């Protein structure tokens, strides 16, 4: 089902010098663009499989797609809540005016209520009235378009030395699609780690839903020593981006730097398959300094996201109208 909205940008919305129409359509049709996991079609299918409500909207400017926004909708009693994780996704880098227009028009089509916005860029927050709820996170990303030599040169020298050590200790790396029946151990180990280290991630049910609705969109890399698994790494594929989702390394794996080898082998395979970026997730130097050093040392680029914020578009619009009337 499609919803098409034509909202004229006029005096009521606070724009006086322009007069054009922005069309927003509930649709998944959008040019292939690097985006976070939460803005992918694969994520929407997994959320829907779990009973959630994920809807994607595409904004057009004179028949040209300019942005895609995936929204997870929930309701707490009578209050509708719209969560925008790591969006919008822009076809090209927009000017501030275009960002503002999108955020003013989108609630007219998707619905009014409480909007929780966690954009991929802080620039999107500058376009709207908001109240910050959480400090902005930083993410680490590996550029997979670079060749092996370039990616090696970007690694920290200690990280690269550990990789060479792992390559000379008889470790074996194998990879295949995640299998919900064969790979229960992966989820059990992740649940154990979450309890031990007191962090929260997506539940095991999400991985199972992902595997069931996106059968070819996962890759499990397993490192073995003397025939026994000592480390593994689960990647979720949403072309042209890949997201590092779960990682584990036992005592032997840590001693032999098995995770360095697994990540390097994964980046080689992904580069050959034409993926553009590997998202290693958040970097938390305060609560997980060891993991942060591992991600940064791998040659990844660290960049900030927008802060998770509260946006009440209906109230913002009323304030704007009152200000113009005055």
- Residue environment code for 203-222, b if the CB has 16+ CB neighbours within 10 A, otherwise e: ebebbbbbbebbeebbbbbb
Q: Helix, strand, coil shares of the chain as percentages rounded to 5?
A: 35, 30, 35
Instruction: Report yes or no: 71 and 54 within 8 Å, Cβ to Cβ.
Output: yes
Given this model, what pLDDT does residue 17 score? 38
Whether the predicted pLDDT of 241 surpasses 90: yes
Q: Do domains 4-136+306-325 and 138-304 have the same CATH topology?
A: yes
Dihedral sign from CA coordinates of 35, 41, 45, 47: positive
Determine the Cα angle at 210 with ends 69 and 180, to 5°: 170
Fold classification of 4-136+306-325 is Aminopeptidase (3.40.630)
Question: 238 or 29, which is more confident?
Answer: 238
pLDDT of 268 > 80? The answer is yes
Is pLDDT of 276 > 90?
A: yes
Q: Say what the pTM is.
A: 0.89
Residue 139, pLDDT score: 98
In the chain, % of residues over pLDDT 90: 73
Topology at the third CATH level for domain 138-304: Aminopeptidase (3.40.630)
By CB atoms closer than 10 A (0-12, 13-18, 19+), residue 19 is exposed
- The 8 Å CB, 24+ separation contacts for 283-288 are 283/137, 283/138, 283/139, 283/140, 284/137, 287/199, 288/197, 288/199
User: For the segment 127-162, what is each residue's pLDDT rounded down to a tens digit?
Assistant: 888 999 999 999 999 999 999 999 999 999 999 999
Structural domain spans, the chain? 4-136+306-325, 138-304
Q: pLDDT per residue over 185-213, tens digit each?
A: 999 999 998 888 888 888 999 999 999 99
pLDDT (tens digit, 9 = 90+) per residue, 297-316?
Answer: 999 999 999 999 999 886 65
pLDDT digits (tens, 9 = 90+) for 54-80: 999 999 987 789 999 999 999 998 999
Q: Provide the percentage of residues in the chain whose pLDDT is more than 70.
A: 90
The token duo for 280 is: 């290693």
Mean pLDDT of 255-282: 98
């Amino acid at each position: 089902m499609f919803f098409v909205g034509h909202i004229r940008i006029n005096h009521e919305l606070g724009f006086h010098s322009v007069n054009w129409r922005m069309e927003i359509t509930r649709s998944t049709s959008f040019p292939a663009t690097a985006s976070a996991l939460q803005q992918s079609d694969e994520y929407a299918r997994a959320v829907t499989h779990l009973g959630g409500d994920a809807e994607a909207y595409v904004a057009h400017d004179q028949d040209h797609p300019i942005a895609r926004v995936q929204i997870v909708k929930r309701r707490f009693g009578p209050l509708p809540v719209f969560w925008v994780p790591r969006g919008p996704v822009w076809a090209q880098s927009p000017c501030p005016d275009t960002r503002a227009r999108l955020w003013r028009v989108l609630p007219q089509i998707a619905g009014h209520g409480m909007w929780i916005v966690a954009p991929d860029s802080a620039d999107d927050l500058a376009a709207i009235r908001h109240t910050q709820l959480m400090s902005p996170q930083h993410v680490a990303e590996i550029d997979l378009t670079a060749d092996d030599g370039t990616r090696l040169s970007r690694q920290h020298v200690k990280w690269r030395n550990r990789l060479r050590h792992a390559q000379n200790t008889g470790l074996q790396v194998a990879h295949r699609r995640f299998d919900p029946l064969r790979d229960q151990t992966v989820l059990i180990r992740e649940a154990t780690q979450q309890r031990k280290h007191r962090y929260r991630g997506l539940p095991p049910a999400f991985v199972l839903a992902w595997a069931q609705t996106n059968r070819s969109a996962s890759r499990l890399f397993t490192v073995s020593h003397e025939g026994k698994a000592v480390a593994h790494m689960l990647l979720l594929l949403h072309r042209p981006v890949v997201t590092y989702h779960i990682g584990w390394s036992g005592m032997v794996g840590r001693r032999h730097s098995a995770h360095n080898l697994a990540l390097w082998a994964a980046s080689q395979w992904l580069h050959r398959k034409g993926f553009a970026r590997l998202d290693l997730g958040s970097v938390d130097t305060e609560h997980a300094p060891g993991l942060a050093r591992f991600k940064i040392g791998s040659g990844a680029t660290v960049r900030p996201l927008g802060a998770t914020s509260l946006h009440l578009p209906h109230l913002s619009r009323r304030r704007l109208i009152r200000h113009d009337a005055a």
